[in-house]
A and B are shown apart, each in its own frame.
With several copies, the nearest count.
Chain A
């Protein structure tokens, strides 16, 4: 296999195209803000952003004008409240962006179908709710054995998915522990995959514990090594979630002006994640304490 390590700027320039359907997943855990910031810096546009929880990361990308459409299931600031940039775009008629809305299960099903190369995924869901009434892509399918009517959602095949991992080798074999979200499904569903890792490790580290591998290098287009690349999200065993930042964002995003100031300083005002960390040395307080698991025997 060939060495796929590049820097974030190269990865985004070569693999993210205007108009792409882009996925940066990670459920609370391992959300790759570093990739989002570089996409904003490079002025990518007309993206369709898909993600269960748009979270601050897509609030920032929406505010920066990168997107024409959002596919999602929960658009809030977890534990805090609203996503204000998102709300400014949808609390008006007509909306300033397209939206396509599911529940979490529906989004998980869309990624699962995409990863399995199936055109749809069946689920027993949505009866008695107003969700399908506002989304024509939630249809029904009849079970050929029981005759039951089930909900069905179409497979989602992103052009590009960014997977943040704790560690990866230079070929893209990526290992994750802690919350797994739908990162594996999103990666296998995607035409192209960028792995962003906290730490570059030798292939032998991966081979030392193969059950930890989330995605194999064979489906990966590029590897970016970006310590602290998920801040203000977190990486189990590397650094804690910056809950203060999530609270602060509620104020930052409340007006277009304060949000723009944030982007000017922390996104456009730095060249890369390294500089982002340099101007915020206080973030090092989030470094994880050690709670190391014990090894298991892979011998025979």
Chain B
């Protein structure tokens, strides 16, 4: 595999590559659509050929031969290892702790990694009504760990979300362990400028690595709470030429997800 760095890459490509690298070979991953799906396929095409991709629609071990526009695409079934009913997906896989990594995103994430995909404004008089939980609530509760992929933006990173759809490290006044949540919660938040990780004591998201060219000030001005910064700060390997080529030519040639 080429390790030459890519001459150019977009923020979406950078995020996708970072997410892909978080997936160890052989892991059982609960995949959402869009960038997470691309990240999984990129991992499969590079360092993790045995990644097991599971979709809430019931497809297990999917190997889609096109970019699936939805998590229930027929291409996720053809050639997959198993079709599970949704009752099995939620009870026997998720609630039973068989999902190692879950991907999440949302309209808002707050300083404890709580995600909102339900409503901007108040529930009874919404400014924007979002789709709601889908499986996100239970992915956040049960997956052994979750990865959040979201672009930085002051409105998307408030100190407190308008509605907690998917709980993070601390929600409604209690920590995950106080709530008795089985999964590990959001271990990494992958943004377009940095990576955040929860503080092991407080559960607050703090900057753990900056991307090449980004500054803490860049990040802070897009985030609604006072950011802590880890010391020493981790480094991030930029996308290499192979990864970018795969994304552009094989995995998302029509640029459905990578802008």
Asked whether, in the complex, the Cβ of A105 is within 8 Å of the Cβ of B138, the reply is yes
**A40-82, CB < 8 A from B:** 52-53, 72-76, 78-79, 82
**B96 proximal to A (CB < 8 A):** yes
A258 to B101, CA, bound (A): 42
**B58-115, CB < 8 A from A:** 58-61, 63, 69-75, 77-88, 90-92, 94-98
Which of chain A's residues has its CB closest to B58's CB?
A: A179
Which chain B residues border A1 with CB–CB below 8 Å? 26, 50, 52
Which chain A residues border B199 with CB–CB below 8 Å? none
Contact A180-B129, Cβ < 8 Å, known A27-B57, A129-B166: no
Which of A112-120, A158-166, A261-269, A271-279 touches B? A112-120
A75 to B132, CA, bound (A): 6
Asked whether, in the complex, the Cβ of B72 is within 8 Å of the Cβ of A179, the reply is yes
Interface of A is mostly: loop
**A126 proximal to B (CB < 8 A):** yes
Interface of B is mostly: loop
Query: Number of contact residues on A: which range applies?
Result: 35 or more
Asked whether, in the complex, the Cβ of A127 is within 8 Å of the Cβ of B126, the reply is no
Q: Give the A-B contact count at a CB cut-off of 8 A.
A: 239
Interface of A toward B, CB cutoff 8 Å: 1-2, 27-29, 52-53, 72-76, 78-79, 82-83, 86-87, 90-93, 95, 101-105, 108-109, 112, 115-118, 123-131, 134, 148, 173, 177-182, 184-185, 188, 203, 206-208, 210-211, 213, 215-219, 234, 236, 240-241, 243, 246, 291, 298-300
Which chain A residues border B176 with CB–CB below 8 Å? 128
Contact A182-B164, Cβ < 8 Å, known A75-B132, A134-B123, A206-B81: no
**B118 proximal to A (CB < 8 A):** yes
B interface residues, tally (CB under 8 Å): 71
A52 to B137, CA, bound (A): 14
Interface of B toward A, CB cutoff 8 Å: 26, 28, 33, 50, 52, 56-61, 63, 69-75, 77-88, 90-92, 94-98, 118, 123-138, 141-142, 163-167, 171-172, 174, 176, 179-182
Asked whether, in the complex, the Cβ of B135 is within 8 Å of the Cβ of A103, the reply is yes
Which of chain A's residues has its CB closest to B122's CB?
A: A93
Asked whether, in the complex, the Cβ of A128 is within 8 Å of the Cβ of B172, the reply is yes
Among the listed A90, A102, A128, which residue makes an inter-chain contact with B133, where contact means beta carbons less than 8 Å apart? A102
